[in-house]
Amino acid sequence: MDRSKKLSGRVAIITGAAQGIGASYASALADEGAAIVLADILDAEPLAQEIRQRGGKAMALKVDVTSASSVKSMVANSVEEFGSVDILINNAALFGNVQPKPFLQITSEEWDRMMSVNVRGAFECVKAVAPQMKKQKYGKIVNIASGTVFKGIPLMLHYVSSKGAIVAMTRCLARELGDDGVRVNTLAPGLVMSESVLDNPAWRGAVVQNNVNSRAIKRDATPEDMCGTMVYLCSSESDFVTGQVLVVDGGSVTH
């Protein structure tokens, strides 16, 4: 165990970790010494192999965050493989492939799907991991929201509403789990140029430039820009921080 690393000896589950920002979180936590569980409905084994080749510990699991049985198995497999679960990053969500549209054009089915993945998915994962963290009397849960919650942007009502729910969920969970040594916080990124966003024609040109112009630091955000804050929220450096929202968007939101 390398005690010079901030997460040495910790075990972290990252949902939606096969690509994009989730993959960056996983790599950053692995570099700080955590054993990584890559949970995704997509194949995360290539990233797991890459982390192991760098000398880290990692396993990939196929997980559907909307399935209670799937996330329960995820936690059981993590404990069996690595002995504990110390960190949960609720990163799995619908966003990159979503097409912005007026709320009058959002179907009931689209709304329900967004809430199922983005809100109930996070709920199912916390519910599955909480007994283990309570037993250990220690845990770090980082929920992922969005700077859009504090802006009220148009054309993404279902998405922004789902991320507002995540902020509220974080505050409630922090109260319920504080006496068990479990800290629950929210990281709220701005528009990050991840793989799925770059592949979506809706997130190009003036839409992106206007977002950049709203920032104090006027440049595109990369997945790596999120990682320092994520490591902080997962490490002992934030042991007296819970129920908080940390916006990482170059100063577009000053919350």
Please indicate whether residue 243 or residue 96 has the higher confidence score (pLDDT).
243
Which residue, 59, 70, 20, 64, is CA-closest to 40?
A: 64
Exactly one of 25, 138, 159, 232 is catalytic; name it: 159
Which residue, 145, 143, 229, 130, is CA-closest to 181?
A: 130
Q: What's the rounded mean pLDDT across residues 64-70?
A: 97
pLDDT in tens, 158-191: 999 999 999 999 999 999 999 999 999 999 999 8
* Residue 7 · residue 28 · CB < 8 Å: no
Q: Which residue do the tokens 């974080």 mark?
A: 170
Instruction: Quote the pTM value.
Output: 0.95
Query: Percentage of the chain surpassing pLDDT 70?
Result: 97
Catalytic residue status for 159: yes
pLDDT in tens, 14-33: 999 999 999 999 999 999 99
Structural domains of the chain, ranges and CATH numbers in brackets? 11-248 (3.40.50.720)
| DSSP state at residue 248 | E
Instruction: Please state the three-class secondary structure of 143-163 as a single string.
Output: EECCHHHHCCCCCCHHHHHHH
Q: What does the pLDDT read at residue 209?
A: 86
* Residue 123 · residue 229 · CB < 8 Å: no
* Helix (H) / strand (E) containing 93: none
Torsion, Cα 57 60 65 71, to 10 degrees, reads: -70
Round to whole Å and give the CA distance between 171 and 161: 16
Q: What stretches of 46-181 adopt beta strand conformation (E)?
A: 58-62, 87-90, 139-144
Q: What's the rounded mean pLDDT across residues 103-132?
A: 98
* Residue 182 · residue 216 · CB < 8 Å: no
- Enter the tokens of residue 171: 């505050």
Q: What's the rounded mean pLDDT across residues 55-80?
A: 98
